[in-house]
Structure 1
Amino acid sequence: MNRTLSGPRTATLLGDFPSSPAYRGLAEGLQRLIDDGRIPVGTRLPSERDLTAALGVSRTTVTRAYQLLREAGYASARQGSGTLAALPVARGHRGDHLLTPAEAGGDHLDLTCAATDAPAGMSAAYKAAVADLPSYLGGNGYFPSGLPALREALAARFTARGLPTSPCRRSS
């Protein structure tokens, strides 16, 4: 099953993106959409002309953005076949034993792999977690009662829902 994404649909998915420089903002926006599964791997991206018209940017902007995607491993291109969304392959990573759904057609449902695509925003959540990581490296990294910030967030959520909750463990 070959999926093709139109320029207008891509523009809708992208929304606003940083325009300084525009090609980098476009590439980062497309990378984010591929990372979080809104553009599935193997989907044909819009032609440069189609995306240029949909976004109201220059063709050079789209060409450079697609080039950045290919260099980062987020796209592959073959003359006459278009540009396909991809995910970078980690060095030393072997993907031949992964369980991935087969291309099923018609009324068939492939249950080889019951894992769904990552939800929207997963890539941003990982980036935020990695950015916070250095603050946890000063100690031994062991929090038997859980991360204080997470405990506070959970307590606040339960309190807001009508169950007064404290993030601190109370001794009996």
Structure 2
Amino acid sequence: MSSLYTRSKEFTRNRKSQSDSPPASPSPTAKTLESGGSNPTTSDSYGDRASARARREAREARLATLTSRVEEDSNRDYKKLYESALTENQKLKTKLQEAQLELADIKSKLEKVTQQKQEKTSDRSSVLEMEKRERRALERKMSEMEEEMKVLTELKSDNQRLKDENGALIRVISKLSK
């Protein structure tokens, strides 16, 4: 873009410098006519005017070809710039589409992972609930068994006491019977 800008700047500078420059110096006969000198032949002044006109037309033709060349060069540059910008846009569009596809893929993967995580947490929570229930049930059974063991130990101690009493009674009866 900068090269195009400098070219167009130079073109406008050249144009201004050529169009702003004073016209070519008039021929010596034209100078004498303008200054009030006398020229007996009018055909010479006409020839000088015609040659000045021809020179002016030649200069304008050169200027026109120069400007057309500069315009062609600038048009070519614009075309090249347009084509390069177009190809760059196409590349960027394809990159954008690839990025969008990748983003969609990543979003779907993220959703799957979050769903799996939620399922795991729900599974974990249900497993934890079941474990808690089982633990409570086991604790209840354990407390019941502890109570039964207390009862059994009491019964054993009662049984032992009764055996001891029974043995004492048997000895008392055997002494009485002798």
Higher CA-based Rg: 2
Question: When you count helix as a share of all residues, which structure comes out higher?
Answer: 2
Task: Indicate the structure with greater strand content.
Answer: 1
Q: Would you call these one fold, judging by a TM-score over 0.5?
A: no
TM value normalised by structure 1: 0.19
- Taking structure 2 as the reference length, what is the TM-score of the superposition? 0.19
